[in-house]
Structure 1
Amino acid sequence: MSEDDLADGRSPYILQQDDDEMRYAFWADTVADQVEARVADQHPDEDEPEIVIKGGISPSGVPHLGNVNEILRGYFVAAVLRERGHEVRQVFTADDRDPLRKLPRTLCDLDGNLVDLGDVDAGALGRNLGHPYTDIPDPFGCCDSYGDHFSTIIQDSADAVDVPIDMVSTTDLYTDGTFDDVTRHALANRDRAREVLAEYQDKVDEEYIPFNPICEECGKVTETVTDVTLEPEESDLPTVDYRCTDMDAGDRTIDGCGHEGTATIREGKMPWRFEWPGQWGVLGVDFEPFGKDHAEGSWPSGDDVARNVLDIEPPVPMVYEWFTLDGEPFSSSEGNVILVSDVLELLEPEVLRYFFAKDPSRARDFSIERLDQLVDEFDRFEATYFGEVAEATEDEQAFADRVYPLVVEEVREERIRLPYTFAAVLGMTDDPDLREEIARREGHIPDDAPEWAVEQALARVERARNWARRTENEFDYELKRTEIPDHEFDAETEDALAELADFIEAGHDPEEIQGEIYETAKRNDIDTGEFFGAGYRLFFDEEQGPKLGPFLAKVDQEFVVARLRRER
């Protein structure tokens, strides 16, 4: 990227630029400034032009949490602009006229269940390699096409995190004529299109045409255009003559049928490097975030094509870093994916929105194994907003003050958050009344708490329980609360359990209890492993379980002491 590009704001690295200007506490304010400047420049005679924020995706594999990155990044910029009084439309394009180039190994039904290709109508996909996604039957049989199925899941994901988006089918942009003028312009200026694209792609020869028709014989997208007629006598639309030839698809070739025919500009598609900037023009896009994979290749070519071929002013760009899932890249084929619907079974929507509110220019990991840390971080962020964290730094306070109202559905100081791991402990019992009783006894629910706050607090228990089961961690056990498991212990073990009960009754922290378990076993000449096993049998009717000291510290003391004494 040249210095001139940086100077005129065309660099997508707008959050990474280091300058002496005022720094906002929230990155979306920085982006909103640039969007407002663009809108003022492009619409000087309009009082309140609608601002359009866009994201997009090509249907492929499983629409997972990583795919909503730009939905939520766009949402925060939209929220800031709405705060400033602007009308904002957030659109998300499905590039569903792209051809299917390879078979996905994993798919997803509308309920969020991952399934192998062999468990659905795989033939619906296998017979349609090279066809547009919207021309391929839905392998689940529930939507109009494979493309529509994918788009429905994206829309459901946005709805689940309460982000209002308009899904836009690229196929519809062609078939309803929205793309007519842009496509006609690209074909009329095909010589210039070749010159510009040749700077970014090696496979651009003198015969290159920026249009890929759909073969009327076999239904596949073909890249071989033999002639262009901008004003045909028999049609109001420009047409192209084509030959259906083979298509390269990574390490394989999709065979063309050899048919020669004619197609109008509504019966095909532009290559993506023209289609993407074309979307900016027809949708009036003012801002689009995208991953860093687009920043060095697709964005420079898109910017160039928009300005120098299509006569379109590009939107404000913003590159964001990818994030990983438990330290590994998202991958449908490798099974390293999680859907938004899955995540919301583990934590509240506001916690997920908080994750995406953090600086997009930094790489992060979304760890299911350590999800308790993210929830604890959110709880501190929330408490900081309400002035409950005395040691909060100036930056922490500024970020919380600015961002918290954008993350939650409603700001309510009476809210209650059970510590996530404590909620996981409560999840060891199925009794909802007992869960509330323990939470109140341990001081997590005040006596005067409003009912809505109590319900919200206890709803976290099921989420934490789901997390424990999904990760099979130390909280994935069933606490035998209602009756004492039927186990006999020798006199030495009975005495040791009674000593441990006295120690816990006196009041000690988790690590002190853990250490005392070892010391009690030694004083009574009991094998340490056997003594821990006695504790697990007594509380879980199992031979093993969570780290015992911290667990006993989290459960209500009265019950723990009584159980160790074999009283209940």
Structure 2
Amino acid sequence: MFWADKIAADAKGHEIEIVNDSKTPSGRVHVGSLRGVVIHDVIYRALKHAGKPVKFLYGVDDYDALDTVPKYLDQEKFSPYLGYPLCNVPSPGDTASDYAKYFMGEFLQVFEYLGVKPEVYYLRDLYRSGKLNSYIDTFLNNAHLVREAYKEVSKAERPDNWYPFQVVCEKCGKIATTVVTDYNGSEVFYTCKPDATNWVEGCGHSGWVSPFDGNGKLPWKVEWVAKWDVLGVTIEMAGKDHSQKGGSRDVANAICRKVLKKQPPFHSRYEFILVNGTKMSSSKGVGSSAKEIASLLPSELLRFLMLRTQPRTVINFAPNYETITRLLRDYDTLIDKYTDENGELTKDLMSLFYAQIGDEIKPYNSFDFSTLISLLQIPHLDIKEEVAKRSPQALSEFDWQIINQRIAAAQKWLQDYADEEEKLVIYLEEVPDKAQDLSPEQVSYLDKLAENLEKVENWDGEELQTALFSTSKELKIKPAGAFQAIYLSFVGKERGPKAGALLSYLDKPFVLTRLRNVIELNASKI
């Protein structure tokens, strides 16, 4: 059984399942944050698929403090707002009213692209509307139990006069620097401490103020518990960083049981998405943004990237040639398998099913993505005409819809992600300089290859690949050296795409002429 279907099957005892996820919009949202989004969306879909009443909520934690100014923003403009609640920081652009809504708006566009449609709520609204007032009162009155939970679970000591609340300072507007040390049932006493953090100074102001109606916030582990209860959350997964033994989720679970006397929602951890082995960060600008990757990959492929591995397995993502081409090849293989099995949804096809924007898989005749990347780099070639010519069957309107998406993805990849080694530049007008330095063995190979290619009638990639290998075997030349000679002759590099496919993109007379020109330039070596 697929992991999400198992969660759905095991869910019981609730009138309605409430699936929840959330994000702090501290900057441009990286693609890693999409993993939690898609995982929760698939759990929601699996519950619907199982016929169980369910809602999917997504929270914007916009009362969290701005703790870093991302490197892509104006440091001078935004540094004065360090320590402010994100919803009180000015917007970096004119598309939103404030900082939090600006970056969340960009992320929500990706939600729409991926067919993810949760009910979105903002923490500012929960606090300012008074919906969290009773929880604030409960946790302040039971601060000793909250302190106990921190100490028992994470070994974190809190002073006896520490209260689980941070006020928005009435004088300077910061929330990160305030410390509450007393509560009289209607007001808290706080100090905006100059040394509260090592990244922003408090103003030193102190006084009594009501903690209700948006005047401050609960620490996020405590806030997490309040959200669960006020929203009725029954299922919420968490990333590996929050799910460590003694970590954030364990602390929140303990507070939920100890203070509210309730069981926390179902939880299971999921792993990070890494970029070349590095965890991504919104505020530090590490990793590709969700918006950027959404502009590269078709929506189903981006969902599939998140779903083809178990949630507890790390995804090491890098938009290089090998990763991108393998992703599309794996997806197309499952589409073919679904077609072969006449639409039966076996366990290994469920990742494909949940990758769809809608509730059905629509088969199509695929066209190799790596071939598209190569074809797009050949001058004066009509890509659609070439695709139609190379497809073994007539292409339907839906086939072309998919192929056009792939062409756009290949163009985007070539423009923004391909490095110089991955780009293919075919020398059409002149012989590459490096082709003049072949070994005698390589020149002999090209001489024999030209003779053999003259006899090839069907000028397609597979037949040409066979001819290339059989020629090296005939001359007892190692394939590595033989193929290097071909790449040097046509692209001026020692490596390239599948050589048979490369030659098939070119006219037979051009290939034979180029081989003879290279042989002539190296004639003294024969």
Q: 1:57 to 1:304 in 2, by over 3 A?
A: same
Query: Match for 1:245 among 171, 189, 193?
Result: 193
Q: 1:344 to 1:273 in 2, by over 3 A?
A: closer
Q: Do the aligned partners of 1:347 and 1:463 also contact (CA within 8 Å) in 2?
A: yes
Q: Do residues 227 (structure 1) and 182 (structure 2) align?
A: yes
- Tell me the CA shift for residue 223 of structure 1: 3.5
Q: Do residues 207 (structure 1) and 158 (structure 2) align?
A: no
Q: Distance in 1 between matches of 2:55 and 2:454?
A: 64
Q: Do the aligned partners of 2:296 and 2:409 also contact (CA within 8 Å) in 1?
A: yes
Trace 1:104-253 onto structure 2 (pairs within 5 A): 104-105=70-71, 116=72, 120-199=73-152, 200-221=154-175, 222-230=177-185, 238-249=186-197, 252-253=198-199
Q: Secondary structure of 2:81's partner?
A: coil
The equivalent of 1:68 in structure 2 is 34
Q: Distance in 2 between matches of 1:102 and 1:409?
A: 35
Q: Distance in 1 between matches of 2:337 and 2:386?
A: 26
Q: Do the aligned partners of 1:225 and 1:240 also contact (CA within 8 Å) in 2?
A: yes
Query: Match for 2:9 among 33, 40, 44?
Result: 33
The equivalent of 1:367 in structure 2 is 318
- Number of residue pairs matched? 489
Q: Distance in 2 between matches of 1:378 and 1:247?
A: 53
Q: Secondary structure of 1:187's partner?
A: helix
* CA distances 1:81-135 after superposition (whole Å, capped 9, x unpaired): 1112334322222222112223333xxxxxxxxxx3xxx4323321112111111
Trace 1:85-484 onto structure 2 (pairs within 5 A): 85-105=51-71, 116=72, 120-199=73-152, 200-221=154-175, 222-230=177-185, 238-249=186-197, 252-264=198-210, 265=212, 266-295=214-243, 296=245, 297-331=247-281, 336-357=286-307, 358-369=309-320, 370-387=323-340, 398-409=346-357, 411=360, 414-429=363-378, 434-444=382-392, 446-447=393-394, 449-469=395-415, 470-472=417-419, 476-477=423-424
Q: Distance in 2 between matches of 1:384 and 1:529?
A: 33
Q: Distance in 2 between matches of 1:418 and 1:75?
A: 29
Q: Secondary structure of 1:208's partner?
A: coil
Q: Distance in 2 between matches of 1:443 and 1:142?
A: 44
Q: 1:262 to 1:514 in 2, by over 3 A?
A: farther
- The residue type equivalent to 2:163 in the other structure is I
- Tell me the CA shift for residue 496 of structure 1: 6.9
Q: Distance in 2 between matches of 1:477 and 1:543?
A: 9
- Tell me the CA shift for residue 517 of structure 1: 7.8
- Tell me the CA shift for residue 499 of structure 1: 2.8
Query: Match for 2:49 among 72, 83, 94?
Result: 83
* CA distances 1:515-565 after superposition (whole Å, capped 9, x unpaired): 578799999xxx9899647732xxxxx6448527x24425646x4313224
Q: Do residues 502 (structure 1) and 457 (structure 2) align?
A: no
Identity over aligned pairs, percent: 23
* CA distances 1:460-502 after superposition (whole Å, capped 9, x unpaired): 123123324412266623557xxx5266999999977853642
Runs of 4+ in 1 over 6 A off after TM superposition: 487-497, 516-523, 527-530
* CA distances 1:210-247 after superposition (whole Å, capped 9, x unpaired): 111111001112442243232xxxxxxx3212222135
- Tell me the CA shift for residue 353 of structure 1: 1.4
Q: 1:169 to 1:69 in 2, by over 3 A?
A: same
- Tell me the CA shift for residue 368 of structure 1: 1.8
Q: Do the aligned partners of 1:521 and 1:528 also contact (CA within 8 Å) in 2?
A: no
Q: 1:145 to 1:453 in 2, by over 3 A?
A: same
- Tell me the CA shift for residue 404 of structure 1: 2.9
Q: Secondary structure of 1:378's partner?
A: helix
Q: Distance in 1 between matches of 2:504 and 2:483?
A: 24
Q: 1:553 to 1:258 in 2, by over 3 A?
A: closer
Q: Distance in 2 between matches of 1:86 and 1:430?
A: 55
Q: Secondary structure of 1:241's partner?
A: strand
Q: Do the aligned partners of 1:289 and 1:320 also contact (CA within 8 Å) in 2?
A: yes
Q: 1:155 to 1:430 in 2, by over 3 A?
A: farther
Q: Do the aligned partners of 1:384 and 1:400 also contact (CA within 8 Å) in 2?
A: no
Q: 1:101 to 1:454 in 2, by over 3 A?
A: closer
The equivalent of 2:520 in structure 1 is none
C-alpha RMSD over aligned residues: 3.4
Q: Secondary structure of 2:62's partner?
A: coil
Q: Secondary structure of 2:237's partner?
A: strand
Q: Distance in 2 between matches of 1:92 and 1:84?
A: 22
Q: Which moved more, 1:151-160 or 1:135-144?
A: 135-144
- Tell me the CA shift for residue 327 of structure 1: 3.0
Q: Do the aligned partners of 1:425 and 1:555 also contact (CA within 8 Å) in 2?
A: no
Q: Do the aligned partners of 1:91 and 1:167 also contact (CA within 8 Å) in 2?
A: yes
The equivalent of 1:547 in structure 2 is 496
- The residue type equivalent to 2:183 in the other structure is V
Q: 1:528 to 1:462 in 2, by over 3 A?
A: same
Q: Do the aligned partners of 2:62 and 2:100 also contact (CA within 8 Å) in 1?
A: yes
- With structure 2 as the length reference, what TM-score do the two structures score? 0.82
Q: Distance in 2 between matches of 1:29 and 1:64?
A: 27
Q: Which moved more, 1:182-191 or 1:68-77?
A: 182-191
- The residue type equivalent to 2:194 in the other structure is D
Q: Distance in 1 between matches of 2:281 and 2:136?
A: 34
Q: Do the aligned partners of 1:124 and 1:136 also contact (CA within 8 Å) in 2?
A: no
Q: Do the aligned partners of 1:468 and 1:474 also contact (CA within 8 Å) in 2?
A: no
The equivalent of 1:393 in structure 2 is none
Q: Distance in 2 between matches of 1:555 and 1:352?
A: 32
Q: Distance in 2 between matches of 1:38 and 1:510?
A: 63
Q: Distance in 2 between matches of 1:514 and 1:271?
A: 66
Unaligned runs of 5+ in 1: 1-23, 44-48, 106-115, 231-237, 390-395, 537-541
Unaligned runs of 5+ in 2: 437-442, 515-526
- With structure 1 as the length reference, what TM-score do the two structures score? 0.77
* CA distances 1:329-388 after superposition (whole Å, capped 9, x unpaired): 224577541123322343322122122223112223223222211211111122112227
* CA distances 1:392-425 after superposition (whole Å, capped 9, x unpaired): xxxx972244343322235465512211111212
Q: Secondary structure of 1:301's partner?
A: helix
